[in-house]
Amino acid sequence: MANRFHRLTLARHRRLLDSHTRYYASQAALASTPVRRLNVPIEFGSTPLLHHTAKTLSKTPGLPSSGASSRLNLFQAVNAALRTALAASDRVLCFGEDVAFGGVFRCTAGLQDEFGKLRVFNTPLTEQGIVGAAIGAAAEGRKPVVEIQFADYVFPAFDQIVNEAAKFRYREGETGANLGGLVIRMPCGGVGHGALYHTQSPEALFCHVPGFRVVMPRSPSQAKGLLLSAILESKDPVIFMEPKILYRAAVEEVPDEAYTLPLSKAEVIKTGADLTIISYGRPLYMCAAAIEAAEKDRPGLSVELVDLRTIYPWDRQTVIESVVKTGRAIVVHESMVNFGVGAEIAATVQEAGFLRLKAPVKRIAGLTTHTGLAYEKYVLPDVARIYDGILATVDY
Amino acid sequence: MRARIFSHARRGLTRPKHRSPPALRSVQHPGIRAGSSLSQRPDAQFLAFPGAVKSAFTSSLKFSVPNEYPAMETYRAVDQHGEVVDRSFTPDLSDDKVVRIYKNMLLISTMDMIMFDAQRQGRISFYMVSAGEEALTVGSASVLEKGDVVFCQYREQGVFVERGFGLDEFMNQLFANNKDPGRGRNMPVHYGSAALNIHTISSPLATQLPQAAGAAYALKMQRAIDPSIPPRVVVAYFGEGAASEGDFHAALNIAATRSCPAIYICRNNGYAISTPTLDQYRGDGIASRGIGYGIETIRVDGNDIWAVREATKKARELALQDGGKPVLIEAMTYRVSHHSTSDDSFAYRAKVEVEDWKRRDNPIARLRKWMEAKGIWSDAKEKESRESIRRDVLKAFSEAEKVQKPPIRYMFEDVYEEMTPELKEQMAELKDHLEKYPGEYELAEFEGGRDSLNP
């Protein structure tokens, strides 16, 4: 009775809502039709940052290109890396909130079925507990790969991260104890409607205290190789930040075999002569689009694009060499500009190459405010801002 | 005290060697128990350890085993058939007021169904329904005073509606429009109301709980200074999942040690997103923890609005006794809905489990049965109420949807009381950029468009 009633009323709501929807949808379509050229949705199906066929795999350093590959999105690539690591070493553990059923972003889907409840499991809802337990497990020889549900929720674990994990090797000294194999994974960054607490990208906070390697992959194939490095090869603990908007949006060919990509090594994705853009994670797609537009509008202009990949300790050599070559630099990231990654890079670049610079190092980053729901697209960098920054820097 | 020590050091003054530093001396304050004062009488049956002053000695080496203790009982006044089971219980509400409360439960239930659908259609970005928990939120809020201060988690629309939050206010927040007091900044369901003394909801879990202790302490201090102020309590809502966060433990402990008039109301609905209570804790629910912190605690049937009302009423009295103290209520219920519009709960629980629960017990149906048995409700009234509520919700919905977004300037305001020079510069740069690339942005949706960015 109650159920039938429920279904009935639901159907009625739908009809009523539909009549309103049609009205407002048509109004909205009539309201304005601005001519957009730059701030159009990223074309993930054709962006040069993704391997749309296996043929291009050989162009990216470190990716195996002879074997089979599969089309995976970012969460599937993370899942593939976790599966590979769990199979490769019985020291690997996966845990966190809602990890057992696959995690809210599906990164751990199927892993408990395959590797058992001793190695893949749910924890109570406590980030400090998750990270603290992971530190203890790593100190006793396991390789815990733990998930913090959103980067916005990592802060209860900050004491464990800053005062414990980051200082662990230093504090232990000659005992040799260390946390190699500990990986703290977390989805980060904007998706358009996450507002204050499902949008943040707190990498700069982790970079301020040395001890962790802080990594952010740009794509599925990068994620698999970098995550496997972090779990199986790194002798230092790793914070692995996954741009959550890419979980489903970024799809590409990912080599099936196990492979690793080096940590603390940047990659020059595109070479250029006049300007270097340094970025990481999601904004790289906007940089690529902005570069394409600027190079089209300014025949002869060529811009180099560098993916930092590991944000700290970062690949100073690759970045400095590139900027010394081009004489101009822009740093682009989503997290706030104030006291951010861009500030560190800009300072380092001007110290190393002051006399080679033809323009001030520019930062295009999140504004110095919080990401309010209605304002996110104005707070975070977009293609138009990067495009404008390119022209301003080359015209300086 | 600390400042005094430093000032000595700065001036190069030397403290007399035999005197303890000022900061330590303050510990010897009369009335504060020091460890050395707990001397044992000859042949005492217990030793007054400073950490457990009434623990008797035993010669039996025995660990306490949780399973050997009976589970704490669950209080109910009215059972799932709407029949009164607590013989001492007499309803303290007029028929009209019962009907008003019932309609508030119907209202949030109806609004939930409509807004869940609206999210599915892309009209709003997110929603969380509270199906199954209407009695606990509406019921507890119905016995609070207007001046009481409330902190919510995020599934407490029943508290808002019972305290007088209007449908227009819900909708303005959900659409993040220019009439939303949160200035379009928060995700849907993160309501707040200064008039109703409910702090704006923040997504991180359990952070509101120690804040509630501090707020309760503030109310207590306020009344100590000015006894003419009516006594007030703070009420904090949270889920059983949030109770795993460190902040929950910090909150109960600080509220107990500082005797804060705070009522902690746990909605134990069985799930934290996908995580069932078996993965969340192994003790006797959340209530058993209250005892550990020295807090008066009760577990109630959260689907019984009368039990929730009676327990909260009594909790409020207790919280204001003896100069103030915290109280913990664990209200047992079941999360009938998905966690949110971002969740599909059938990925981790069987649909039949949910259907069974809905059939077995429903807080709205339970009060309806009670009202029908009393002769104050009928099918006709039910039908009429549901229809009129639905009309009201849809009216508020379409009105709020028409309202423009707030001025885009609000993205820079309230970071600090006054905008910093850095923010002013960023605002000016944004304005220049929007003028330079007008085709790349749709500012028409924001009140005042680009002009709101003028200095």
On whether both B372 and B417 belong to a single domain, the answer is no
Residue B14 included in any domain? no
Is the distance from CB of A387 to CB of A36 less than 8 angstroms? no
Which ranges of B67-144 does DSSP label H, i.e. alpha helix? 95-120, 134-141
CA-based angle B371:B376:B377, to the nearest 5? 70
Structure tokens at A25: 């949808």
- pLDDT band of residue A34 (cuts 50, 70, 90) is low
Mean pLDDT of chain A, nearest integer:
93
Same domain, B296 and B397: yes
Does the residue B7 lie in any domain?
Answer: no
Q: B56 and B108 share a domain?
A: no
Whether residue B242 lies inside any domain: the answer is yes
Residues B50 and B154 in one domain: no
The reply to whether residue B436 touches residue A369, judged by beta carbons under 8 angstroms, is no
Please say whether the beta carbons of B161 and B107 come within 8 A. Answer: yes
Residues in CB range of A124: below 8 A, 6 or more apart: B241, B244, B275, B279, B280, B281
Question: Do B207 and B353 belong to one domain?
Answer: yes
Given a cut of 60, whether residue B8 has pLDDT beyond it is no
**Is residue B274 in some structural domain?**
yes
The distance of B56 to chain A (nearest Cα, Å) reads: 34
Residue of A nearest to B182 (CA): A372
> Hey, is the C-beta of B205 within 8 angstroms of any chain A C-beta?
yes
**CA B260 – CA B218 distance, rounded (Å):** 9
Burial status of residue B241 (CB atoms within 10 A of its CB: 0-12, 13-18, 19 or more): buried
- Whether B371 and B238 share a structural domain: yes
- Identity (one letter) of the amino acid at A236? D
For residue A384, is it left (φ>0), alpha (ψ between -120 and 50) or beta? alpha
> How many structural domains does chain B have?
3
The answer to whether residues B260 and B379 belong to one domain is yes
Residues B445 and B349 in one domain: no
According to DSSP, residue B127 is labeled -
Confidence of residue B45 (pLDDT cuts 50, 70, 90): confident
Same domain for B136 and B42? no
- Please indicate whether, in this complex, the C-beta atoms of A104 and B398 are within 8 angstroms of each other: no
Instruction: Provide the H-helix boundaries in chain A.
Output: 2-31, 74-88, 111-115, 127-139, 158-159, 168-172, 203-207, 220-228, 246-249, 283-297, 316-326, 341-353, 376-379, 383-394
- Quick one: which H or E segment has residue B423? helix B421-436
| pLDDT higher than 60, residue B31 | no
Kindly tell me if the per-residue pLDDT of B12 is higher than 70: no
Which of B113, B241, B245 is nearest residue A9 as measured by Cβ atoms?
A: B113
pLDDT digits (tens, 9 = 90+) for A205-243: 999 999 999 999 999 999 999 999 999 999 999 999 999
Residues B46 and B147 in one domain: no
Q: Which of the 8 DSSP states describes residue B249?
A: H
Point out the domain boundary residue: B39, B62, B85: B62
Q: Flag if A198 and B436 touch (Cβ within 8 Å).
A: no
Return the CATH number at B349: 3.40.50.970
Tokens 């291009």 sit on residue = A56
In which band, very low, low, confident or very high, does the pLDDT at B40 lie, cut at 50, 70 and 90?
low
Domain containing B423 equals 408-453
Residues B434 and B287 reside in one and the same domain: no
Q: What is the full DSSP assignment across B307-347?
A: HHHHHHHHHHHHHHGGG---EEEEEE----S-SSTT--GGG
Cα(A63)–Cα(A46) distance, rounded to whole angstroms? 20
**Average model confidence (pLDDT) for chain B?**
92
Task: Assess if residue B429 is contained within a domain.
Answer: yes
Q: Is residue B441 part of a domain?
A: yes
Q: How far is CA B190 from CA A121, A312, B168, B175, B253, in A?
A: 31, 35, 15, 11, 27
Q: How far is A6 from chain B (nearest CA, A)?
A: 9
On whether any CB of chain B is under 8 Å from the CB of A25, the answer is: no
One domain, residues B239 and B351: yes
- Residues B269-315 pLDDT 10s: 999 999 999 999 999 999 999 999 999 999 999 999 999 999 999 99
Query: What ipTM was predicted for this assembly?
Result: 0.91
How far apart (Å, rounded) are the C-alpha atoms in residues A165 and A159?
A: 9
Q: Does residue B199 belong to any structural domain of this protein?
A: yes
Provide the angle, in degrees to the nearest 10, between the axes of the packed helices A220-228 and A74-88: 20
Q: Is residue B81 part of a domain?
A: no
First-residue to last-residue Cα distance in chain B: 45
Chain B residues closer than 8 Å to A36 by CB: 439-440
Quote the CA–CA distance of A293 and B387 in Å, as a whole number. Answer: 55
User: What pTM was computed for the model?
Assistant: 0.91
**What is the DSSP secondary structure assignment for residue B452, as one 8-state letter?**
G
Pairing of strands B234-239, A329-336: unpaired
